[in-house]
Amino acid sequence: MKNILSLTLLLLASFSAAKTEDAILIIDVRTPTEWDRGHLPKAKHIEWQNIGEEITELTNDKHSTIYVYCRSGNRSGKAKLILEQLGYSNVINAGGINEAQSFIDSKT
């Protein structure tokens, strides 16, 4: 019985961790050329000027955590504003690509 309870708790913890990871979305808003040069693991690509039209391909959940980044933080700031105007309530500008991974790691 103890083993079944332990296994159940382990499975619940694993499911909870996976659900949390799935709820976090990382979006690279740079150009396709910049994306092709390299991007963060697990990042999705939407150019900042298309984010309003394409975000629903990734999520309809207005409360999911969305990190946006670019080269310097400027375009990701614009993308953040667009998403907030669409009602997304947990959008975070992670800045430039060189800082974004450390920033995201510190918040998750």
Tell me whether residue 11 is exposed, middle or buried, using C-beta atoms within 10 angstroms of its C-beta: 0 to 12, 13 to 18, 19 or more. exposed
The residue type of 96 is G
Active site residue 70: yes
Q: Write down the catalytic residue from 25, 66, 70, 104.
A: 70
Rg (alpha carbons) of the chain, rounded to whole number: 16
User: Number of helices (H) and strands (E), helices first, in the chain?
Assistant: 5, 4
Catalytic residue annotation: 70
